[in-house]
Structure 1
Amino acid sequence: MSITVRKFTAGPDDNGRRVDRIVRRLYPDTPLSALYRLFRTGSIRLGNMKAKPEDRVSAGDILAIRSSDASGNPDSAAGSLDRKDAPGGDRSSLFAAILIVQTSDLAIVNKPRGLLTHGAGGLDELASAYFSARASGSLAFRPAPLHRLDRNTSGALAISASIAGARAFSLALREGRVDKIYLAVLDGRFDGNEEWVDTLSRTGSDGKTEAGREGARPATTLVEPLAYAAGRTLARIRLMTGFTHQIRAQAAIHGHPLSGDAKYGGSAFAGGYLLHCAELGIPEDIGIENPGIVVAELSPRAEITIKSIFLDIPASFLPRRSPNTLAAGPEP
């Protein structure tokens, strides 16, 4: 049985991470018991010192791991993502095609309807392929979606491009400081603006979000009707809190389910429900390179659908990117 020593250099996005987290990322197929045995025997060293699992690395640190072939191979032999195959190239191109804006810390994409946020063939895989060249500078960090949109919901969605971006955006999201504005087609007519305040929780049986169940938490949504025709309303919706299916659930609770949303009792609507995150507003003071307010335009199909129902809708009601909007950065 041969013994090998592999050395890895920590990148900027590894700064402050625990050694055991990095080693687990590098050796994803190796049992935890075997990895911690390497720590106990002094086979993992940080610089010139025996590493402990709780030690934290700094950018530029050298991590040396002495192991047998039986211990498993590190992910891509250097903690980077291997995306040189043709499918990976396709995924990278798909991500580039939906990219709205990119900074050194965040990327904002316009997720199309039908694309999963996470999972096989999902946005997380597209992001990994697109950032593969940059990710090779980190042993543990992987760019990934920072929140989610349902499969059939489209629009603006943030992707981490650095660990600083992931931490700053996630904190702002938890604090309720990320502004999210949607367009939706709802059943029925509104008499004016509405504020929906409910207590919501997720059911385990059918995956629906419902009101008033045990463990429910408060949810607030602001609704501004823009146009009405043929029993349907086009509305601008601002999320004040963030729950899975929040808009879909509250719309149904208040008697205005999304048209075409069969899960929540919506009326029949060709092509399924239309829910689009049109704006994502990121606070200026979160300490990273910031794209500010990002506008995601409707797909041509969604825009045609809206204009075919609401015939005289002003163009200003539909999301349009400003000509001077910060452009998407070059592919790394």
Structure 2
Amino acid sequence: MDSLLKSDQFRIHREAVIPQESAGQRLDQALATLFPEYSRARLQRWLKAGMLVVDDTSPKGRTPVQGGEHIVIDAELEQEGPVLAESIPLDVVAEDDDVLVLNKPAGLVVHPGAGNPDGTLQNALLHHAPSLAAIPRSGIVHRLDRDTTGLMVVAKTLTAHAALVEQLQTRSMGREYLALVNGQFTAGGTVDAPLGRHPRDRLRMAVRNDGKPAVTHYRMVERFAAHTLLRCKLESGRTHQIRVHMASIQHPIVGDPLYGGRLRLPPGGDETINQALRSFSRQALHAEALTLIHPQTGETCRWEAPMPADFAQLLEVLRGVHSS
């Protein structure tokens, strides 16, 4: 593998321009936003080694940016760190030489990190396809929260990786989610509210005037006595976006441990429904559909993943009373 990592096959060339809205940020922060597929540590190494240049210079990471700077990366793609392959079952929906589409279950963390050094999707992918060790983050180009279920796409080549990242950044990749929220809606709508890190709780995100632009479109799928099933479509892809946006309009996702607040039981005292809501201990959010342009063939591809059993069972219980 070491010899492969040193070949031209695993060199990358990327160019980008720092957007004006990043003006005033530190360079390392702006680069992390511009190239989210690479870790900050890797970007810093490239900057120090002269493999990442800013207007033909190599400034320090703490240097503030003005916006409009031209970034060029011409680097050798070394392995990020000691992420080990582990035999963890994967629900593969589709796979070819360029992409892998999978249906992530609840409880599976995407990347190793503090508190989750192993047992993650990245560990599983390296066992499934060892060649992914040469791709940034083992080919993972977007994430789902630990307890969010549904479709994810993984790039199996550097060419596919660059193409999929570009589709994410240009918002040409379509992602649709099913979300069961508290309260009733009478119509669909849009939440257009910038998101950033919560000022006091670093585990949470929040609507902030100085946050990154975030837009979520939603429409009704089914309405219950005290809940609504929504189909949400992302125009951007921020951390916890749907969860924060729904909570911000006073319709948090059922079971959400971070943004849902205390358990809301519907009026009427139906114990079957109350017990079902009490026992559903994760956010009721499922990435149902994924649409993208295949990086090799140029064809538009779409996949759908069925709702997981626990989510479907909760809806059946809610249908036992009133739905419309």
The structure-2 alpha-carbon separation of the partners of 1:135 and 1:218, relative to structure 1 and needing over 3 Å to count, comes to: closer
Per the alignment, residue 231 of structure 1 pairs with 226
The structure-2 alpha-carbon separation of the partners of 1:7 and 1:146, relative to structure 1 and needing over 3 Å to count, comes to: closer
| Superposition map of 1:165-184 within 5 A | 165-184=160-179
CA distance in 2, matches of 1:188, 1:7: 55
Per the alignment, residue 281 of structure 1 pairs with 291
Per the alignment, residue 260 of structure 1 pairs with 255
The sequence identity of aligned pairs, in percent, is 23
The residue identity in structure 2 corresponding to 1:261 is: D
> Which stretches in structure 2 are left out of the alignment for 5+ residues?
15-44, 50-72, 113-117, 264-276
How far off is 1:212 after superposition? Answer: 2.8
Per the alignment, residue 208 of structure 1 pairs with 204
Per the alignment, residue 197 of structure 1 pairs with 192
Query: Are the counterparts in 1 of residues 111 and 121 from structure 2 also a CA contact under 8 Å?
Result: yes
The structure-2 alpha-carbon separation of the partners of 1:209 and 1:103, relative to structure 1 and needing over 3 Å to count, comes to: same
> Which stretches in structure 1 are left out of the alignment for 5+ residues?
1-5, 19-31, 37-53, 58-73, 315-332
How far off is 1:260 after superposition? Answer: 1.5
Query: Are the counterparts in 2 of residues 104 and 161 from structure 1 also a CA contact under 8 Å?
Result: yes
| Superposition map of 1:1-332 within 5 A | 8-9=3-4, 13-16=9-12, 88=86, 90-91=87-88, 94-95=89-90, 98-119=91-112, 120-132=118-130, 134-135=131-132, 143-203=138-198, 205-206=200-201, 207-213=203-209, 215-266=210-261, 268=263, 269=277, 270-272=279-281, 273-283=283-293, 286-287=295-296, 292-311=301-320
CA distance in 1, matches of 2:110, 2:169: 19
Matched position secondary structure for 2:242: helix
Matched position secondary structure for 1:201: strand
The structure-2 alpha-carbon separation of the partners of 1:289 and 1:123, relative to structure 1 and needing over 3 Å to count, comes to: farther
TM-score (norm 1): 0.64
The residue identity in structure 2 corresponding to 1:247 is: I
Query: Are the counterparts in 2 of residues 223 and 238 from structure 1 also a CA contact under 8 Å?
Result: yes
CA distance in 1, matches of 2:75, 2:119: 33
How far off is 1:216 after superposition? Answer: 1.3
Query: May I ask how many residue pairs the two structures share in their alignment?
Result: 244
The structure-2 alpha-carbon separation of the partners of 1:262 and 1:80, relative to structure 1 and needing over 3 Å to count, comes to: closer
In the TM superposition, what whole-angstrom CA distance separates every residue of 1:143-178 from its partner, at most 9, and x where no partner exists? Answer: 332111111111001112111111110011011111
Select the structure with the greater relative contact order (CA < 8 A; seq sep ≥ 6). Answer: 1
CA distance in 2, matches of 1:217, 1:141: 24
The residue identity in structure 2 corresponding to 1:179 is: G
CA distance in 2, matches of 1:301, 1:201: 31
CA distance in 1, matches of 2:322, 2:290: 23
The structure-2 alpha-carbon separation of the partners of 1:263 and 1:81, relative to structure 1 and needing over 3 Å to count, comes to: closer
CA distance in 1, matches of 2:299, 2:125: 19
How far off is 1:142 after superposition? Answer: 6.5
How far off is 1:131 after superposition? Answer: 0.5
RMSD, matched Cα: 3.4
CA distance in 1, matches of 2:82, 2:132: 6
CA distance in 2, matches of 1:224, 1:192: 7
How far off is 1:289 after superposition? Answer: 6.7
Matched position secondary structure for 2:231: strand
> Which runs of structure 1 show a deviation greater than 3 angstroms over 4 or more consecutive aligned residues?
9-13, 15-18, 54-57, 79-83, 286-291, 311-314
The structure-2 alpha-carbon separation of the partners of 1:122 and 1:288, relative to structure 1 and needing over 3 Å to count, comes to: farther
Query: Are the counterparts in 2 of residues 260 and 267 from structure 1 also a CA contact under 8 Å?
Result: no
The residue identity in structure 1 corresponding to 2:291 is: G
Query: Are the counterparts in 2 of residues 209 and 249 from structure 1 also a CA contact under 8 Å?
Result: yes
